[in-house]
Amino acid sequence: MNKKGALILVSIAIGIIIFLNMSNTLHVNQSEWMKLGDEDYLILFKEGGNALVYTALQDSDKMKIADAVGNNPNIVNNWIHKRPDIIESPIFKILTKKNLFEDANVIETFSLQYQNFYSVNEVSFNVFNFYGNQVLSLNDPEYSNLSYEFILSSDHKKGLIPTLSELWLIDSNKKTKKITSDTYNGKTYNDIQASYENKLADSESEGYATVWWNDSPKFNPSATSIVYTSNRDSIETGGNSIWMNKLVNGEELKVMSGNSDFLIVMGWINDEQILTEKWSNENHSYLLLDTTGNYYDLVLEGVNPEILGIYGERIIYLSDYSNPNHLILGKVDQKNKSINTIYEKTIDGLVRECREDDSMLAVLYLADEQGNYNILVTDLNSRNEIIIDNLPIGNARIDDFHWLDNNRLLIQLLQYDHVPSTVSSWIYNLGSFR
């Protein structure tokens, strides 16, 4: 090779190095996509890179139900608290870490009864064998006779059935037990509800008088305690309080009184501390509350911060919810009672969802005015980034995503070029990126 040729090669190499150093953000290669199927697979439980999934309803199923009701409105009486018989039942599968499907092994299907005021209701469950572990799930995750969301412990061995006035625990022995008290200061739910209605009527206030006995319950990580909010003690002052039930001995106690403030339990960061959101008139703040009632304010960066996710003692939040494009990941500093910033990023779009897995962070954001979404994935160790924006099919957009492990994303793509729209499931493998 002559000197001129060698110089050209050196120049090209230097140019490539300069280009790579200018940005560590890559865009996807379609060869990293793998189609799971035309079904909308949702995750029930995951561990060790394997996931228990089921097929969710598609828009075509919902249209079929709507058409049937339109032709015969009385048909809904045949479907009370159960899946309409004109659509298929959900299919459960195990998605392995090798991206293969295996049949989900149902050990047992059983039904339990619980009481909602004066009626006795029944709900059905499956117990799956998940690589030697028993995993509890609703028999039908999308249709049941539950009035509110079924709450599972992180290991899927215990569950909670909340109603307006009661909270029922399903334990590992497949039995139901009511774990909330029947009265507060000698008054029943109905007594306090009547007092609330009279109070609103006397004050001529607008709105509905609803007593929430145990709202938004959440297991702690070890599933030994449950925390929830209640306004049973706040009818005169307004607002609500935070209560806890210790499952070991059944003790129910008030952790924090909101007085006239509204408190929202966002989640546990460990077995003893609860991240709490507080609204006081127009003021909005976050607290870190322990199980003895002690707390301190969490000082977050920005003018209107909004927390999006809790991952143990790591917290993802926006610095300004009115302009949701600046994202911060922080870790609670217990010694200094503060949050230390681990990572921050200004996103070229509006953030919708954020999910962390180990050392990886994925952000779903609105990329343009046409409603297209991208996913920005960041390796928090190397700070390398990849933008998932080159989809494997046309006339589609990213509908949602979840981590399978820190190398793979399960991504739902919504195809909108025909009616009804359909959702298909794909895996994006980050192995070569990492």
pLDDT tens per residue, range 197-213: 888 877 666 667 899 99
Q: What is the pLDDT of residue 110?
A: 92
Structurally, how many domains does the chain consist of?
1
Find out whether 35 and 422 touch, Cβ atoms under 8 Å.
no
The reply to whether 408 falls in a domain is: yes
The reply to whether 338 falls in a domain is: no
SS3 247: coil
Q: Is the pLDDT of residue 21 over 50?
A: no
Q: Is the pLDDT of residue 57 over 90?
A: yes
The reply to whether 273 falls in a domain is: no
Q: What is the pLDDT of residue 277?
A: 96
The reply to whether 278 falls in a domain is: no
What is the pLDDT averaged over residues 71-80? Answer: 91
> CA angle 388-306-230, nearest 5°?
125
The reply to whether 62 falls in a domain is: no
Tell me the whole-structure pTM to 2 decimals.
0.88
**By residue range, what is the domain housing residue 419?**
358-434
Q: What is the pLDDT of residue 10?
A: 33
The reply to whether 127 falls in a domain is: no
Q: Is the pLDDT of residue 14 over 90?
A: no
pLDDT tens per residue, range 310-362: 999 999 999 999 999 999 999 999 998 889 999 999 999 999 989 988 789 99
The reply to whether 279 falls in a domain is: no
Work out the mean pLDDT of the chain and round it to a whole number: 89
Q: What is the pLDDT of residue 204?
A: 64
**Phi, psi angles (nearest 5°) of residue 60:** -65, -35
E-assigned strand segments in 71-192: 92-95, 101-103, 105-116, 119-130, 133-138, 151-152, 159-162, 167-170, 176-178, 183-184, 187-188
The backbone region for 207, taken as left when phi is positive above 0, alpha when psi lies in -120 to 50, beta otherwise, is left
Q: Is the pLDDT of residue 136 over 70?
A: yes
Q: What is the pLDDT of residue 172?
A: 75
Q: What is the pLDDT of residue 18?
A: 35
Give me the residues paired with residue 113 across strands. Answer: 122
Q: Is the pLDDT of residue 8 over 80?
A: no
Distance CA 146, CA 151 (A): 11
pLDDT tens per residue, range 295-323: 999 999 999 999 999 999 999 999 999 99
The reply to whether 369 falls in a domain is: yes
The backbone region for 201, taken as left when phi is positive above 0, alpha when psi lies in -120 to 50, beta otherwise, is alpha
